Structures are given as C-alpha cells and as structure tokens.
Amino acid sequence: MPLATTRRTGLVDQVIEQLRTLVTSGEWPVDGRIPTEPELVEALGVGRNTVREAVRALAHNGIFEVRQGDGTYVRATSEVSAALRRLCGSELRDVLQVRRCLEVEGARLAATARTEEDLAELRAQLAHTDTTDHARFTHSDTEFHLAVVRASHNPVLIEIYRGLLEAITASVATTSATPGGMFPHDGLVEAIADGDVERAGREAAGFLDEILARSTVQDC
C-alpha cells in the first residue's frame, strides 16, 4: 500500500490528504472497500483516533461511506463528484439527460476550440475502442466523451463533467450492455475536426436521444 509514515504535526490533515490521493489516483476505486482501521494505523504510523477522524471527515464530505459491520467504501472521487452525484440521482434517465446537456454543449464548443492535440487524442480514443469486451468498451467510451469535453477548453464545464464521471461511467456500462448499445463516434470526431458546430451538436445528441427514446428508468 503506497502510504508514507506521517510527521507528527497536522496529523489528521496529512492523513486526509494521503487517503484523498489514493482515491483520486484510482488506487482505491469507487465502490471499493478501503483497508481496515488497524491496517491504516499500521501503514500510516498514527493512532486510531487520528485515522478515525480522517475517515470521518472524508465520509462527511461524501467521499467515503462507512457501513457499520461491513467497512468503509469509496463513494466518490471528490467533494464535487459527491455533491453532483447526490443532485443527479441514481436513475439512468436522469443521468442520460444531464449527459446530453453537458456533452452536446461540450461538442459544440470543441468544434471551435479544439487543437490538433485534441483531435489526435480523440482519434486515438476511437482507435482503441474495443467493442468485443464490455468492460473495456465502458472504459474507453467514457474516456472518449471526457476527451470531447476537455476539447471544449471550458474549465467549468470540464470540472462539472469530471464531477459526474462515476455516474456517467455507470450509464455507459448499463446502456452499452443492451443490443446495439455500443455506438460509433466517428461522425462526431469529424464534425469537431471540421469546426462544424451544429453538426457536432447533432452528433453528440443523436445517440443519447436514441438511448433515451428506448430506455426505461433503471438504477445506474
């Protein structure tokens, strides 16, 4: 476990930052259980009260969820993600509707703001999309849509989208598991490359509108 023994000043804050880093880096994935309190005490070289207070603080912020008798689980990667996840709710249709708002505007902005580096990344994401493996498709498709939003170069939009990434990933996993649910995005990339704002918006909306038209309310 990549934890370093802390100094004796600001112990709780130091532990909080180490635990937060393990979450944001993906070392401790969302929905995964973190090590037990005794394990953390040993790894960090601090007392139980320090570990307990740090875990409690992150649970209060929505990053951890303490389940009595079961352990502590990662709930979100940041406070922003936790707050947006609560606001968005867990129903698939809710997530898809929010995705449509963010991804359509992200695509429209990307059509005017994208760089050559952005286009290279988008095309690389398409090239590595694996439609034969559901888990890999879920990961690559989510990364593709995040890359489109990043190409907008709007920091607020990017931060909001990142905050919803767990719910977005879950929606991709759910919808792509249905027949015909793995949609190609070559047209979207070409619209962005051509600087065609309206076509980029239509391409970004098209597959989501199709999913929404046939979806029922499910838990993400």
Tokens of residue 93, six digits: 């249709």
Instruction: Tell me: pLDDT of 93 over 70.
Output: yes
Residue 83, pLDDT score: 63
**Banded pLDDT at 94 (limits 50, 70, 90):** confident
What integer is the mean pLDDT of 39-59? 93
Higher pLDDT, 146 or 7: 146
Q: What backbone torsions phi and psi does residue 64 show, to the nearest 5 degrees?
A: -110, 155
Helix ranges (H only) for 9-91 are 11-24, 37-44, 48-60, 79-88
Cα–Cα nearest to 80, from 183, 158, 5:
158
Residue 165, pLDDT score: 87
Residue 54, pLDDT score: 95
What integer is the mean pLDDT of 191-219? 86
Q: What is the pTM of this model?
A: 0.63
What integer is the mean pLDDT of 11-30? 89
CB 137 within 8 A of CB 182: yes
**Banded pLDDT at 191 (limits 50, 70, 90):** very high
Buried b (16+ CB within 10 A) or exposed e, 144-163: bbbbbbbbbebeebbebbbb
Instruction: Tell me: pLDDT of 17 over 90.
Output: yes
Q: Which domains, from first to last, does the chain contain?
A: 9-75 (1.10.10.10), 81-216 (1.20.120.530)
Q: Which residues touch 84 (CB under 8 Å, ≥6 apart)? A: 160, 163, 164, 167
Write out pLDDT tens, residues 128-183. 887 788 888 888 999 999 999 999 999 999 999 988 888 888 888 888 877 777 88
Higher pLDDT, 100 or 68: 100
What integer is the mean pLDDT of 81-96? 67
- Amino acid at the residue 42: E
Write out pLDDT tens, residues 103-127. 999 999 999 999 999 999 999 999 8
Q: Which residues touch 208 (CB under 8 Å, ≥6 apart)? A: 96, 99, 100, 103, 104
Helix ranges (H only) for the chain are 11-24, 37-44, 48-60, 79-88, 92-113, 116-127, 134-150, 155-163, 165-176, 186-194, 197-214
**Banded pLDDT at 218 (limits 50, 70, 90):** very low
CB 32 within 8 A of CB 6: no
Owner of token pair 């209060």: 60
Query: What 3-state DSSP class applies to 66?
Result: strand
Residue 92, pLDDT score: 80
**Banded pLDDT at 90 (limits 50, 70, 90):** low
